[in-house]
Every structure is written in C-alpha cells, then in structure tokens.
Amino acid sequence: MRQARNPENIHPPIAPYVHQIEVTGPGRWLTLSGQLGMKTNGDVPEDPLKQLEIALENIQLNLEAANMSVKDLTKLVFYLVGDFEATKRREVIGAFLGDQLPCTTMIYVVALAAPQFKVEVDAWACVEAK
C-alpha cells in the first residue's frame, strides 16, 4: 500500500524525511487545512517554537478524529515566519514524528493569515481501505 523511497539517483535527504511515498491500492486519504499554533481556547503563544508544537498537536488531533495516526502521514508542508533556531525546530518536529518519515517541504514566508501566526503546517495522510 505505502512504499517510502529515497532513489539512489537523487541526493540523500538533508533532514528526517523521504523523497517519495508511493501509495497503491484502495485507501482512505485525509487532507488537512493548514494547522496553526493556536490552542483550542484561541490563545496563540508568542514563541514560534511553541506555535510549532501546537500546530503539530493540532495535526495529531485531526488524525485521531479520522482514526489515523502520525504513521499514516505522507506529506507535511511547513510555512514559517521569522527566525527559527534550526536545532530546536528539528527537535520539535522529530519528537512529533518519532521514527516516521513523511515527505516534507519547509518554506519561509513573509506573513501568514494574521501577524501573530508564525507557523502553519499542511498535512496529508493515507490508510489502507478496510
């Protein structure tokens, strides 16, 4: 159903991700809108790393609501505003993903939907149809 690959004719990944995931056969897909670093009560912390943690928690909650988990992720796209310390950013993402390696893209942008938002994360997931 899912086959993650890093083709030998492409450079090795420069972070914890894979270059491609092929999904074959019948399955159930979940596409999420960009998840922000906003808590359920509407609070948005100023710390961009805390926003990243919350955005990833929101992805986890969406996955759980669809009877999926982090292991079902196929793609993450990170939109970041401002300066993020790379080592700490990788730690936050690594703690969320564990040993799962989806395809990823990281984009630094000038702004998001409102000035307080420093992080938005898109996600796609797929599970085998039952």
List, for residues 88-100, the tens digit of each pLDDT value: 999 999 999 999 9
Contacts with 65 (C-beta within 8 Å, 6 or more apart), sequence order: none
Domains and CATH numbers, the chain: 15-128 (3.30.1330.40)
Which pLDDT belongs to residue 80?
98
What is the residue type of 106?
M
Mean pLDDT for the stretch of residues 10-19? 92
Q: Work out the average pLDDT over 7-15.
A: 93
At residue 15, the pLDDT reads: 86
Which run of H or E residues covers position 64? helix 48-65
pTM (2 decimals)? 0.93
Q: What is the pLDDT of residues 35-52, one digit of tens each?
A: 999 999 999 999 999 999
68 HSE (CA, 13 A, CB side): 24
CB 73 within 8 A of CB 125: yes
